[in-house]
Amino acid sequence: MQNLKDKKLKIEYNSYNLVWESETIPLGNGILGLSINSHSKKDIITLNEESLWQGGPSDNRNYTFGNDTTKQGNDYLAYLNFQKTNQYFLANNKEKATKYSEKLIGKKDFFGAYQVLGEIEIDYLEEHQELAIKRSLDIINGLYQIERKYQNNQITKKIFVSNPNNFALLKLCSINKTNLSLSFNFKQFRNSIKYDNNNLVVKGIISDNNLNWITCIYFKTDGLINYSNNKIMIANANDVSLYLVILTNYKNLYPTYRENTNLEEKAQEIINNIKDKTYDELYKIHSTDFSSLMKRIELNIFSKNNDTLEQSFKKYQNKKYNPKLESLLFQYGRYLLISSTRENSKLPLNLQGIWNNTNTPLWSSDYHLNINLEMSYWLSLKGNLFETIKPLINFVFDLTKPGRETARIYTGINKGFLINTQANPFGWSAPGWDFRWGWAPESSAFILSNLYDYYKYSNNYLFLKNDLYPLIKDLVSLYSDLVIPYNNFFVLSPSYSPEHGDITMGNTYQNLLLYNLFSIYLNNFNLENDKSNYLETLKIKDRLLYLEVGKNGQLKEWFNEDYLNKKDLKHRHISHLVGLYPLDLIKKSNYKIRKAIFISLKKRGLQSTGWGLIHRLLCYARLNKSKICYKLINNIIKNNTYLNLWSFHPPFQIDGNLGYSTAILELLVQDYDNEVIELLPALPKKWRSGNVSGVALLNNKTIDIKWHRHKVIEILLNIKTNQNITINTNKFKSLKFTITNSNNNLVNYKIEKGVLFIFNIEGILKINIK
Ligand code: FUC
Q: How far apart are CA 11 and CA 644, in angstroms?
A: 9
Q: Check residue 178 and give its pLDDT.
A: 66
Do residues 429 and 456 make contact, with C-beta atoms less than 8 angstroms apart? no
DSSP 557: S
Model pLDDT, residue 60: 87
Asked if residue 571 has its Cβ within 6 Å of ligand 1, the reply is no
> Which ligand 1 atom is nearest residue 609's CA?
9
DSSP annotation of 363 reads G
pLDDT in tens, 159-215: 999 999 999 999 999 987 667 888 999 887 788 999 999 999 999 999 999 999 999
Task: Give me ligand 1 centre to Cα 613, in Å.
Answer: 13
Ligand 1, from 420, 424, 611: best to mutate by most atoms within 8 Å of Cβ? Answer: 611
Number of neighbouring beta carbons within 10 Å of residue 77:
15
**pLDDT-based confidence at residue 508 (cuts at 50, 70, 90):** very high
Report the C-alpha gap between 399 and 369 in whole angstroms. 12
Average pLDDT over residues 85-90: 98
Ligand 1 pocket: which of 368, 424, 439, 613 to mutate (most atoms within 8 A of CB)? 368
User: Of all protein residues, whose CA lies closest to atom 8 belonging to ligand 1?
Assistant: 499
Sheet holding 224-228, edge to edge: 25-28, 32-39, 42-49, 118-124, 180-187, 231-237, 224-228
Atom of ligand 1 nearest to the CA of 655: 10
Whether omega before 651 lies within 30 degrees of 0, making that bond cis, reads yes
What is the arithmetic mean of pLDDT over 74-83?
98
For ligand 1, whether the C-beta of 500 sits within 6 Å is: no
Ligand 1 touching residue 649 (CB < 6 A): yes
SS3 284: helix
* Residue 345 CB–ligand 1 contact under 6 Å: no
pLDDT digits (tens, 9 = 90+) for 54-72: 999 999 899 999 999 999 9
Q: Are strands 755-769 and 32-39 parallel, antiparallel or unpaired?
A: unpaired
In this structure, the residue with its CA closest to atom 11 of ligand 1 is: 368
Residue 653 Cα to ligand 1 midpoint, Å, equals 9
Please tell me the distance from the alpha carbon of residue 167 to that of residue 247, in angstroms, as a whole number. 10
Of 572, 654, 658, the residue with max ligand 1 atoms within 8 A of its CB, to mutate for a pocket test, comes to: 572
Pairing of strands 676-679, 711-728: parallel
DSSP string across 134-147: EEEEETTTTEEEEE
Q: Kindly state the average pLDDT of the residues 293-302.
A: 97
Q: 117, 188 in Cβ contact below 8 A?
A: yes
Q: Is the CB of 474 under 6 A from ligand 1?
A: no
Compute the average pLDDT of residues 477-505. Answer: 96
Helices (H), 505-653: 508-523, 534-542, 591-604, 610-622, 626-639
Quick check: 645 pLDDT over 70?
A: yes
Nearest alpha carbon to residue 234 among 281, 172, 180: 180
- 529-566 tens-digit pLDDT: 999 999 999 999 999 999 999 999 999 999 999 998 77
Q: What is the pTM of this model?
A: 0.98
**pLDDT the model gives residue 558:** 96
Catalogue the E-assigned strands of 687-736.
690-697, 701-708, 711-728
Please give the number of the atom of ligand 1 that sits closest to the Cα of 366: 6
CA neighbor of 728 nearest in space, from 695, 698, 761, 756: 756
- In ligand 1, the atom with minimum distance to the C-alpha of 498 is 8
Residue 294, strand partner residues: none
Averaged over 118-134, what is the pLDDT? 93
Distance between CA atoms of residues 339 and 29, nearest Å = 5
pLDDT of 27 strictly over 60: yes
pLDDT digits (tens, 9 = 90+) for 675-712: 999 999 999 999 999 999 999 999 999 999 999 999 99
Amino acid sitting at position 677: I
pLDDT given at position 127: 85
Question: Minimal CA–CA distance to 78: which of 436, 409, 482?
Answer: 409
Q: Could you write out the three-class secondary structure of 510-526?
A: HHHHHHHHHHHHHHCHH
Q: Side-chain half-sphere of 34: how many Cα atoms within 13 Å?
A: 25
659 CA to middle of ligand 1, Å?
14
Instruction: Give 647 Cα–ligand 1 centroid separation in angstroms.
Output: 14
Question: Distance, CA 128 to ligand 1 centroid (Å)?
Answer: 48
Closest atom of ligand 1 to CA, residue 351: 6
> Residue 145: pLDDT above 50?
yes
Half-sphere exposure of 641 toward its Cβ, with a 13 Å CA cutoff? Answer: 31
Residues 81-89 have a mean pLDDT of: 98
pLDDT confidence of residue 151: 87
Q: How far apart are the CA of 651 and the centre of ligand 1, in A?
A: 11
Percentage above 70 pLDDT, the chain = 99
- Candidates 641, 648, 681; CA nearest to 572 is 648
Whether the per-residue pLDDT at 652 is higher than 50: the answer is yes
Closest CA to 547 of 498, 583, 512: 512
Segment 128-149 shows an average pLDDT of: 96
404 lines ligand 1 (CB under 6 A): no
Q: Decide whether any atom of ligand 1 lies within 6 Å of the 609 Cβ.
A: yes
How many angstroms separate the alpha carbon of residue 38 from the centre of ligand 1? 31
The C-alpha atoms of residue 523 and residue 540 are separated, in whole angstroms, by 14
Judge whether residue 5 has pLDDT over 60.
Answer: no
> What pLDDT, on the 0 to 100 scale, is given for residue 4?
38
Pocket test for ligand 1, best of 374, 420, 499, 574 (most atoms within 8 A of CB): 499
Residue-level pLDDT at 90: 97
Classify strands 495-496 and 224-228 as parallel, antiparallel or unpaired: unpaired
Helix/strand/coil for 210: coil
CA of residue 278 to ligand 1 center, whole Å: 45
Flag whether pLDDT at 239 surpasses 70.
Answer: yes
Q: Is the CB of 368 under 6 A from ligand 1?
A: yes
Residue 7 has pLDDT above 70, yes or no: no
Q: Coil, strand or helix: which one is 533? A: coil
Query: What per-residue string of b and e applies to 289-318 under the rule 16 or more CB within 10 Å gives b?
Result: bbbebbbbbbbbbebeeebebeebbeebee
- Average pLDDT on 649-668 reads 98
CB 682 within 8 A of CB 625: yes
Distance CA 337, CA 304 (A): 29
**Average pLDDT across the chain, whole number:** 96
- Tens digit of pLDDT for each residue in 722-737? 999 999 999 999 999 9
78 to 102, 412, 438, 501: CA distances (angstroms): 11, 9, 14, 21
pLDDT recorded at residue 1: 37
- Span from the CA of 611 to the centroid of ligand 1 (angstroms): 9
Nearest to 669 by CA among 693, 685, 689, 637: 693
Q: Does ligand 1 lie within 6 Å of residue 334's CB atom?
A: no
Write the CB contacts of 234 (distance below 8 Å, at least 6 apart in sequence): 180, 181, 182, 183, 184, 219, 221, 223, 224, 225, 226, 240
pLDDT average, residue stretch 324-348: 98
Q: How confident is the model at residue 8 (pLDDT cuts 50, 70, 90)?
A: low
Averaged pLDDT, 348-366: 98
pLDDT at 640: 97
For ligand 1, is residue 203 a contact (CB within 6 Å)?
Answer: no
Closest ligand 1 atom to residue 363 Cα is: 6
Q: Does any ligand 1 atom lie closer than 6 A to the CB of residue 372?
A: yes
User: Residues 226, 181: contact at Cβ < 8 Å?
Assistant: no
Classify 92 as helix, strand or coil: coil
Residues 6 or more apart whose Cβ sits within 8 Å of residue 114: 48, 52, 53, 350, 352, 356, 361, 364, 365, 366
Q: What is the pLDDT of residue 230?
A: 86
pLDDT score for 163: 98
Alpha-carbon distance of 611 to 204, in angstroms, equals: 35
